[in-house]
Structure formats: structure tokens, C-alpha cells
């Protein structure tokens, strides 16, 4: 039976992984940045989501949105590279729910792009945290609305997080050592 | 079972190239941004005057695939290519950004103008 997903070790040391969904040409981290640098894809996306762009970010110029995305993606990529080399992935990723009060096994996390001089970054990476400073990227999205539930493409990212987490749990994932370590060394 | 063991159990056969590509994009960030900006300007101009990729390719004497690649904003464009794009689309991409020396002609897009006065263009040692 073909696996519904495989995993790629991004850093080579087991700290940052990315899911490669069945049928995809590459892992989701590489595919996400590829899209965020593809002007054809970005144009189609912002045309389809122009209402959110103007109502939430007050941006009506699609070229500005495309340029900001490419620029923010470059910045985010550099932050990831720096976080990898300095073992600071825990500083990059934050709990998906802003009000999460306690640590959970295989917690759902997000990484945001830094604010540019015009507006907050709309770029998001989504990941599962499985032990201290160790993450599995499940996807990424351009989030233009307040909540992820409001739009299909961000809702799909929630489904992917759940699907990957359930897959790991079904395989018997239970990092109790890492979990205790995580509680004791609260971020 | 530890998650890392599950990840290794289902590890992909192919190695990820993301880090390598990201390092490349970081090393070349500045010109990649310029390339993206130029591609955006060219796209804008093409839709403004209703020019297709096929027509632009004909004017530049290249293939439509080449134009398509160029419009992705990842190509290291030569000055020659940029100048040809400016001519084919009859608009300015970088000309206005090139600040000429004080006192010389401002409009670099007009080929009949020169930066140097006639005596200055003459080889050294002459006209003295």
C-alpha cells in the first residue's frame, strides 16, 4: 500500500521536517516557497481574494500585494535559515491558538512572516511540534482574514494539520520524554 | 514510539533541496528582487497596451517560452535584454533610475542625446 504521506528531513539533523503528500512533486515547505515566489500563481491568488485584500489590508494594487509577498517570503526564508543554524526554531514557531494555555503532545504551531513597512505579513507556515526545537511542517498559506475558518484555503491547512497529527498518533507517536522536557523548559 | 522514529520510518527516498534553494535565494536576494520588480512592471505594461507574450517574443526575436520564464521574475536579466524590453514596450524600466552626472542630459531613453559634449567625446589629446 502506498503511504498517503512521506517525510523529508530538511535540516539533516532531524530538527525540521516537511511532509511530502502523495502525488506532490516536492515537500510542502519547498512547494510553499515556490508558490510564494511565482508571480503567475500570486496574481491568480490575489485576483481571487481581492476582496479580502482590500477589506482587511486596504490594498487595491495587486502588484503591490505580489511584490510584498515575494519580499516577505525572502525575509521569512532567511529567518528560518537563521533559526535552523542557531537552534532557535522554538522562537520562530508559536502555538496555533493564540490563547493556548497548556502544552499538548504534537501541538499545532504556526510561524508568521515579519511585519514589513506597510503591513503585517500575511504569510503563515503551519507545523506540528514533536519535541523541543523540532518541527514537522504540514503546509503554508497566505492568510488575509482574521480566522482560518473563514476561507477554504486556510481551512484546508487546518485539515492538513489534523490529518498529519492523526497519522502520527495512529502510528503510536508518544514523545513523553520530549513532552516532559517541553513542560519543564517552558518556551 | 517516538515521533522521530515514525518520521524516519516514512522518510522520503528523495533528499530535500529546499535548504539549498533557500541559501541560493538569500545569496542572490538583491538581484532577484530587481528581477521580480522588472517582471511586474513588464506584466503591467503588457496588459496596459494589450501586448501578448507571442508578440513580445517576436519583437525581441526570442521564443514565447523565454518570455514566460522572464515574466516569472527569477531571471538574471542583462542590460541588453532590459533595453530591448523598454524599446519593444515603449516604456521606461530602469532608465530614469540611472542618475546622470550633473549638467548632462537627463533622458537616457532618447538615443540621439549623449552624456558627453562634443569636445569631451573626442579622443584625449585632440581639440586642445
Dump pLDDT digits (tens) for A7-16.
999 988 889 9
- Cβ of A66 within 8 Å of Cβ of B40? The answer is yes
Per-residue pLDDT, averaged over A29-46, amounts to 95
Q: Rounded to 5 degrees, what are φ and ψ at A160?
A: -65, -40
Residues in chain B with CB shorter than 8 Å from the CB of A77 are 22, 25-26
The pLDDT of residue A85 is 84
Torsion on CA atoms A110, A159, A121, B20, rounded to nearest 10? 70
B10 close to A7: Cβ distance less than 8 angstroms = yes
A-B Cβ pairs (cutoff 8 Å, strict): 112
Higher pLDDT pick, A63 / B125: A63
Per-residue pLDDT, averaged over B89-95, amounts to 91
pLDDT surpassing 70 at residue B119: no
pLDDT surpassing 50 at residue B49: yes
Per-residue pLDDT, averaged over A183-187, amounts to 60
Cβ neighbours of residue A147 closer than 8 Å, sequence gap 6 or more: none
- Cβ of B16 within 8 Å of Cβ of A9? The answer is yes
pLDDT surpassing 90 at residue B115: no
C-alpha A2/C-alpha A9 separation (Å) is 20
Per-residue pLDDT, averaged over B100-112, amounts to 53
Q: Are strands A5-9 and A16-21 parallel, antiparallel or unpaired?
A: antiparallel
Given CB atoms, is B30 within the 8 Å cutoff of chain A? no
Find the CB nearest B39 among A9, A27, A39. A39
Which of A71-80, A168-177, B27-36 is predicted with the least confidence, judged by mean pLDDT? Answer: A168-177
pLDDT surpassing 60 at residue B105: no
C-alpha A143/C-alpha B19 separation (Å) is 24
Per-residue pLDDT, averaged over A110-114, amounts to 89
pLDDT surpassing 80 at residue B110: no
Find the CB nearest B23 among A66, A81, A136. A81
Supply the DSSP symbol for A86.
Answer: T
- Residue A46 CA, distance from chain mean position: 19
pLDDT surpassing 70 at residue A149: yes
Collapse the DSSP code of A123 into the 3-class scheme (helix H, G, I; strand E, B; otherwise coil) and give the result. Answer: strand
The pLDDT of residue A87 is 82
- Cβ of A8 within 8 Å of Cβ of B12? The answer is yes
- Residue A162 CA, distance from chain mean position: 13
Mean pLDDT of chain B: 82
**Which stretches of chain B are DSSP H helices?**
3-9, 18-27, 29-49, 53-60, 64-70, 79-89, 118-121
Please give the helix or strand (H or E) that residue A165 lies within, else none: helix A152-170
- Cβ of B33 within 8 Å of Cβ of A70? The answer is yes
Which of A99-113, A170-184, B6-20, B102-116 is predicted with the least confidence, judged by mean pLDDT? Answer: B102-116
The pLDDT of residue A173 is 85
Per-residue pLDDT, averaged over B1-18, amounts to 90
Long-range contacts of A167-172 (CB under 8 A, 24+ apart): A167/A4, A167/A5, A168/A106, A168/A128, A168/A130, A168/A136, A168/B3, A168/B6, A169/A106, A171/B1, A171/B6, A171/B9, A172/B1, A172/B6
Closest CA to A49 of A34, A30, A65: A65
- CB atoms < 10 A from the CB of A129, how many? 25
The pLDDT of residue B124 is 46
> For the complex shown, is ipTM > 0.90?
no
| Percentage of chain A exceeding pLDDT 90 | 73
Give the confidence band of B90 by pLDDT, cuts at 50, 70, 90.
Answer: very high
Per-residue pLDDT, averaged over B111-128, amounts to 46
pLDDT surpassing 50 at residue B125: no
pLDDT tens by residue, B64-75: 999 999 999 989
pLDDT surpassing 80 at residue A129: yes
- Cβ of B26 within 8 Å of Cβ of A74? The answer is yes
- Residue A150 CA, distance from chain mean position: 17
Mean pLDDT of chain A: 90
Give B78→chain A minimum CA distance, Å: 20
Amino acid at each position: 500500500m502506498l503511504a498517503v504521506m512521506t517525510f523529508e528531513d530538511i535540516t539533516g539533523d532531524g530538527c525540521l521536517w516537511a511532509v511530502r503528500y502523495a502525488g506532490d512533486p516536492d515537500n510542502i515547505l519547498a512547494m510553499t516557497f515556490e508558490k510564494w515566489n511565482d508571480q503567475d500563481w500570486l496574481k491568480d491568488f490575489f485576483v481571487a481574494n481581492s476582496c479580502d485584500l482590500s477589506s482587511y489590508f486596504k490594498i487595491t494594487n495587486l502588484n503591490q500585494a505580489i511584490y510584498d509577498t515575494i519580499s516577505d517570503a525572502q525575509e521569512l526564508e532567511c529567518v528560518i535559515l537563521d533559526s535552523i543554524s542557531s537552534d532557535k526554531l522554538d522562537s520562530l514557531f508559536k502555538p496555533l491558538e493564540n490563547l493556548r494555555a497548556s502544552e499538548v503532545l504534537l501541538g499545532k504551531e504556526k510561524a508568521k512572516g515579519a511585519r514589513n513597512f506597510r503591513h503585517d505579513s500575511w504569510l503563515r507556515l503551519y507545523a506540528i511540534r514533536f519535541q523541543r526545537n523540532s518541527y514537522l511542517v504540514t503546509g503554508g498559506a497566505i492568510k488575509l482574514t482574521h480566522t482560518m475558518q473563514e476561507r477554504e484555503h486556510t481551512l484546508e491547512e487546518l485539515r492538513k494539520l489534523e490529518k498529519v497529527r492523526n497519522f502520527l498518533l495512529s502510528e503510536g507517536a508518544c514523545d513523553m520524554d520530549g513532552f516532559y522536557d517541553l513542560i519543564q523548559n517552558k518556551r | 514510539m517516538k515521533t522521530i522514529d515514525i518520521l524516519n520510518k516514512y522518510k522520503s527516498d528523495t533528499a530535500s533541496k529546499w535548504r539549498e534553494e533557500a541559501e541560493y535565494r538569500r545569496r542572490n536576494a538583491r538581484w532577484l528582487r530587481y528581477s521580480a520588480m522588472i517582471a511586474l512592471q513588464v506584466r503591467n505594461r503588457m496588459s496596459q497596451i494589450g501586448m501578448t507574450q507571442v508578440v513580445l517574443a517576436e519583437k525581441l526575436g526570442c521564443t514565447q517560452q523565454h518570455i514566460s520564464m522572464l515574466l516569472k521574475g527569477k531571471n538574471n536579466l542583462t542590460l541588453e535584454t532590459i533595453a530591448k524590453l523598454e524599446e519593444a514596450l515603449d516604456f521606461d524600466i530602469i532608465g530614469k533610475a540611472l542618475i546622470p552626472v550633473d549638467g548632462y542630459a537627463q533622458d537616457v531613453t532618447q538615443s540621439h542625446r549623449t552624456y558627453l559634449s562634443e569636445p569631451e567625446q573626442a579622443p584625449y589629446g585632440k581639440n586642445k
